[in-house]
Amino acid sequence: MTDSLFITCSQCGAKNRLPASKLSDAPNCGKCKQSIFSHSVIELDDSNFQRFIQNNDMPIVVDFWASWCGPCQHFAPVFQQTSTLFLDKVRFVKVNTEQAQQTAAMYGIRSIPSLLVFKNGKELTRQAGAMDQSNFTRWLSQF
Ligand SMILES: [Zn+2]
């Protein structure tokens, strides 16, 4: 089945099944009726991270960050801006490693920021350190 995808709503976390052709039409959630992609960047923690990455058929890029990390602060607007370019292609997730310590430990996050790409719950690749927007966009385009 390549023509329908499971996508988790960015508002209520409900799992939606969507035809791939609908992704670019700003689809609404079957449960809360809001736009599924209303938040281009979603913040997750230990309680909902696993569920989110398992219940999305789109690639997901995760920014593991921390409030004390200078490069993370600089990278945050790049991450936000880039997310709007990939709205129906890649989900953008931020994980605060000070709060989501279990998740950070599970993936062995040692340097901050770390960017991980997941597909169907599996890690595809990771990149330690921030990127500028053009490098980040190029890096993501391969997914
Ligand atoms: Zn919803």
Give the distance (Å) from ligand 1 centre to CA of residue 137.
28
Q: What percent of the chain has pLDDT over 90?
A: 85
CATH fold of 40-141 reads Glutaredoxin (3.40.30)
Q: pLDDT tens, 12-69?
A: 999 999 998 888 888 999 999 999 987 789 999 999 999 999 999 999 999 999 999 9
CATH entry, 1-39, from 2.30.30.380, 2.40.128.130, 3.40.47.10, 1.20.210.10: 2.30.30.380
**Average pLDDT value over all residues in the chain:** 93
Give the distance (Å) from ligand 1 centre to CA of residue 11.
5
Q: What is the pLDDT of residue 2?
A: 61
Give the distance (Å) from ligand 1 centre to CA of residue 37.
9
Catalytic residues: 69, 72
Question: Please, where are the H alpha helices in 15-141?
Answer: 49-54, 70-85, 101-106, 133-141
Beta-carbon contacts of residue 118 (< 8 Å; ≥ 6 apart): 53, 59, 60, 62, 124
In angstroms, rounded to a whole number, what is the distance separating the alpha carbons of residues 23 and 76? 25
Indicate the domain borders of the chain: 1-39, 40-141
Beta-carbon contacts of residue 138 (< 8 Å; ≥ 6 apart): none
